[in-house]
Amino acid sequence: MKVSVQAVAVWGRVAPSHSITAIMITDDQQTIVTGSQEGQICLWDLSSELKISSKEILFGHTASVTCLAKARE
């Protein structure tokens, strides 16, 4: 059974900038990953109807994210 969890934005009235510099889609084609000039990594859900919704935003990089790669199992 798959449990659905909604993303919660905690940045107030204005979302942080996210100037996309890198993009990757997972092998199952259900998640898009974007890296930004501001050093964030965002995860996005991609539905079978091709609707995109935010999942998570990860902070912590001190430089631009210019490349994304999946890890080996």
Q: 8-36 burial, b if ≥16 CB within 10 A, otherwise e?
A: eeeeeeeeeeeeebbeeeeeeeeebbbbb
Q: First and final CA of the chain: distance in angstroms?
A: 23
For residue 23, pLDDT over 90 is answered with yes
Mean confidence (pLDDT) of the chain: 82
pLDDT value at position 12?
63
Structural domain boundaries in the chain: 20-59
Q: Considering Cα of 36, then 65, then 41, then 71, what sign does the dihedral take? A: positive
Instruction: Provide the 3-class DSSP secondary structure of residue 4.
Output: coil
Query: Per-residue confidence at 4, pLDDT binned at 50, 70, 90?
Result: low
For residue 72, pLDDT over 70 is answered with yes
Instruction: Provide the 3-class DSSP secondary structure of residue 15.
Output: coil
